[in-house]
Amino acid sequence: MRLRNIPRAESVLEACKEVVKDPESLRGDWNQTFKKEQPLHIEIGMGKGQFLLTLAAQNPQINYIGIERYSSVLLRAVEKFQELEAEGKAPANIRFICMDANDLPTVFAPAEVSRIYLNFSDPWPKARHARRRLTSNEFFKLYDQILTADGTVEFKTDNRPLFDFSVEELETSELFVLDQLSYDLHNDSTMNQGNIMTEYEAKFSSMGNPICKLIAKRR
């Protein structure tokens, strides 16, 4: 996937105090960067940030970290945060990291994260790239290293082949088990309760695409 480089991205991220510049130094002690010691939830591939910013505002009793690999993408979320900040509405319980998801165990200690959100992740459609998918068993092994004993992974997508792949991975996983599943989230009265839509979710749903969601928990 080719992304347009935004020259100002690096300087904006560097100037924002909510963007953690040296995340490895906080491994095992992430609560020190927040005002309160409370459960930690992370979103991998947070995109423009609507989902996590809304969650943080609604749940001040939880600390949130949004992770993006590309600075030009993370820029959008940070700018949205800064807009809220200018209005006096920015949540205090959110931080941002520009990093690759493969490095999760170097940034978070065992049992430090309570929940992981994956929303409309890159499908990596070619079979030879299957291990790069964030719902592959390769990544579930990483999640297992940082989640609490009762930790969960929540995944949403409109990409049915990717969703089917994710379900199949969980069926063979020795570390995680499928807890909840819906192939049409917005018409599922149970799983859709309290659902917060991402930008992609709103777009694809308006096009008539059913949204799939699963929740996986550790064995």
**Domain boundaries of the chain, sorted by first residue:** 43-99, 105-219
Per the annotation, binding residues for substrate are 126, 158, 198-201
Q: 128-160 b/e with 16+ CB inside 10 Å = b?
A: eeeebbbbbbebbebbbebbeeebbbbbbbbbe
Do β-strands 40-44 and 63-68 pair in parallel, antiparallel, or remain unpaired? parallel
Say what the pLDDT of residue 82 is.
97
**Class level of CATH domain 105-219:** alpha beta
* Range 102-107, long-range pairs (CB < 8 A, 24+ positions): 102/142, 104/44, 104/142, 104/143, 104/145, 104/146, 105/142, 105/145, 105/146, 106/24, 106/27, 107/23, 107/24, 107/26, 107/27
Say what the pLDDT of residue 195 is.
97
Helix (H) or strand (E) holding 105: helix 104-107
Say what the pLDDT of residue 1 is.
46
End-to-end CA distance of the chain: 34
Per the annotation, binding residues for S-adenosyl-L-methionine are 43, 68, 100, 122
Is the entire prediction scored with pTM above 0.85? Answer: yes
Helix (H) or strand (E) holding 94: strand 94-98
* 22 in catalytic set: no
Quick one: tokens of 189? 């009265």
Quick one: tokens of 112? 């430090």
Say what the pLDDT of residue 2 is.
47
Per the annotation, binding residues are 43, 68, 100, 122, 126, 158, 198-201
SS3 at position 152 = strand
pLDDT in tens, 57-102: 999 999 999 999 999 999 999 999 999 999 999 999 999 999 999 9
Catalytic position from the list 22, 29, 103, 122: 122
Backbone angles phi, psi at 135, to 5 degrees: -110, 20
Any idea what the Cα angle at residue 160 is, between residues 132 and 55, rounded to 5°? Answer: 75
Which residues in the chain show pLDDT less than 70? 1-4
Say what the pLDDT of residue 4 is.
66
